[in-house]
Every structure is written in structure tokens, then in C-alpha cells.
């Protein structure tokens, strides 16, 4: 709870994964990947309830084992590759509201961000209060200047790959840019219903996280990198 307003955290986890099969249940430093996100929500001082939305019985069992609630299974139509996160979250909100549960704020915790901690969640809500915001979204610095990027033609020619003004600039000469890191999305539930977006047109602020805490697991190499980071952090 924050400022006497209720907070629902939802961990979204489909059973299928093409790039890294069964990634949400893979053991990461002794715990299933999904468990790290569940724990961060439960351990934070602001979350009233953590719910797992999944179509997988195995993930549902793991979610309950680590303290989350799984009051219903995700419908088949919301478990496809093309299903949007906002529709999954609205299904959770609608289903809970049908049994009399309403929440002021929604916190989306994607299981692919295991380096996000309870402290990060609390800091995001502190920013929400400080800014009197309607939403807070986590970001991190870009690893390299976006000015050093471009598309490539089929023949891989790099003619005019960089604009003339950028070719001799050092990385520190460019303005700092940020990207969404996928770790934390906080938004007023009614605003989410109205705009169907975690990035509303106004009243949204960025919570800046460091790059290490922002690692998103999409493939085996990401998984191994996070495992390395966790092992060395403990040492």
C-alpha cells in the first residue's frame, strides 16, 4: 500500500517460449526464474498482493510455492505470441473486480527481469509519490549512442552509415539517451483501462535503473550472464 492506496503486482508468465524453452521455470541461482520477480514484489513494502497470470499449471504451482496467488488460469486466447500485455493485465483486473477486489495501482513485473529487487520497486513508488504521478516506468541508459546505429542494405554497404556530423565524435560527446528496460511498470488502474497503455500521454515519469539491474533475459546468453552477475554479487 502507498499513501493508503492499494497496489496489485502482476507477474505475467506464459508457458511457452521459443528462444529459450521453458525459460520461466529454469533454475537461476537456485530458484526458478519467475520466483525472482515474485519475491521482489512480496518483499517490497508497497505491494498488497502478488498475482501470477499464466496458462501453465507448472508455473502456477511454482508461483504458489513462492508466495504468489494464482486465483485463475489465463485464457488460451491471451497466451499466444501475439497477445498484448495490456490485455493480459486487464483480464486480471476485471476478474478480480468481479469478486470485489479493486486496486488503485497496478505494478507489472515481467519475470525476465530477475535483477530488479524490492528496493527498486519501492524507489519507483517513492518517485510516484514525489512527482504526484499517474505512472512510473523504469529505464536505463543506452549502452552506445543511438547516432552510431543505422539500417544496412542487402549488400552490407556502410556508405553513409553515419551522418557526417557524427563520424568523428566520441561517445561522451553525445547526449545521454535512455531505453525502456522492462523491469517496472506502475500505473493507476483506471488510467490503464482508459488509455490501454503503460505509457500514458501525460503524468508518467522515468525511474532510472543501472544497466546491471536492467538485464532482460531473452536468450540463453542473457540467462548465463545474469547467473554470472548473481554469483559474483554474492561473493
Residue the block writes with cell 478480480: 96
Reduced to 3 states (helix: H, G, I; strand: E, B; else coil), residue 89 is helix
Q: Are 142 and 185 in contact (CB under 8 A)?
A: no
CA distance 92 to 230: 31
Tell me: pLDDT of 208 over 90: yes
List all residues 6 or more positions away from 210 whose beta carbon is below 8 Å from its beta carbon: 140
pLDDT of residue 158: 94
pLDDT-derived band of residue 196, with 50, 70 and 90 as boundaries?
very high
Output the pTM of the full model. 0.91
Q: How far apart are CA 20 and CA 25, in angstroms?
A: 11
Q: How many CB atoms lie within 10 A of CB 187?
A: 27
Q: Is the dihedral of CA 133, 136, 142, 145 positive or negative?
A: negative
Those residues with Cβ within 8 angstroms of residue 18's Cβ, 6 or more apart along the chain or in another chain:
81
pLDDT given at position 200:
96
How many residues are present in the chain? 235
Lowest mean pLDDT among 51-60, 74-83, 128-137, 218-227: 74-83
Closest Cα to residue 198, out of 105, 66, 71?
A: 105
Please give the pLDDT value at position 20: 82
The percent of residues in the chain predicted with pLDDT above 90, rounded, is: 80
Taking residues 105-128, report their average pLDDT. 97
Alpha carbons within 13 A on the beta-carbon side of 187: 26
Amino acid at each position: 500500500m502507498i499513501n493508503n492506496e492499494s497496489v496489485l503486482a502482476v507477474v505475467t508468465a506464459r508457458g511457452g517460449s521459443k528462444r529459450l524453452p521453458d525459460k520461466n521455470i529454469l533454475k537461476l541461482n537456485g530458484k526458478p526464474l519467475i520466483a525472482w520477480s515474485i519475491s521482489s514484489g512480496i518483499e517490497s513494502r508497497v505491494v498488497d498482493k502478488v498475482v501470477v497470470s499464466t496458462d501453465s499449471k507448472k508455473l502456477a504451482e511454482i508461483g504458489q510455492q513462492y508466495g504468489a496467488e494464482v486465483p485463475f488460469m489465463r485464457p488460451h486466447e491471451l497466451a499466444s505470441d501475439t497477445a498484448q500485455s495490456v490485455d493480459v493485465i486487464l483480464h486480471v483486473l476485471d476478474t478480480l473486480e468481479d469478486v470485489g477486489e479493486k486496486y488503485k495501482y497496478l505494478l507489472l513485473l515481467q519475470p525476465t527481469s530477475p535483477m530488479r529487487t524490492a528496493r527498486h520497486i519501492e524507489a519507483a513508488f517513492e518517485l510516484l509519490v514525489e512527482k504526484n504521478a499517474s505512472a512510473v516506468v523504469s529505464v536505463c541508459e543506452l549502452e552506445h549512442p543511438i547516432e552510431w546505429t543505422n539500417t544496412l542494405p542487402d549488400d552490407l554497404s556502410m556508405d553513409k552509415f553515419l551522418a557526417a556530423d557524427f563520424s568523428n565524435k566520441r561517445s561522451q560527446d553525445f547526449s545521454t539517451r535512455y531505453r525502456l528496460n522492462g523491469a517496472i511498470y506502475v500505473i493507476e488502474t483506471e488510467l490503464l483501462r482508459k488509455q490501454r497503455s503503460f505509457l500514458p500521454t501525460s503524468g508518467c515519469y522515468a525511474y532510472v535503473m543501472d544497466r546491471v539491474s536492467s538485464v532482460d533475459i531473452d536468450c540463453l546468453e542473457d540467462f548465463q550472464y545474469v547467473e554470472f552477475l548473481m554469483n559474483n554479487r554474492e561473493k
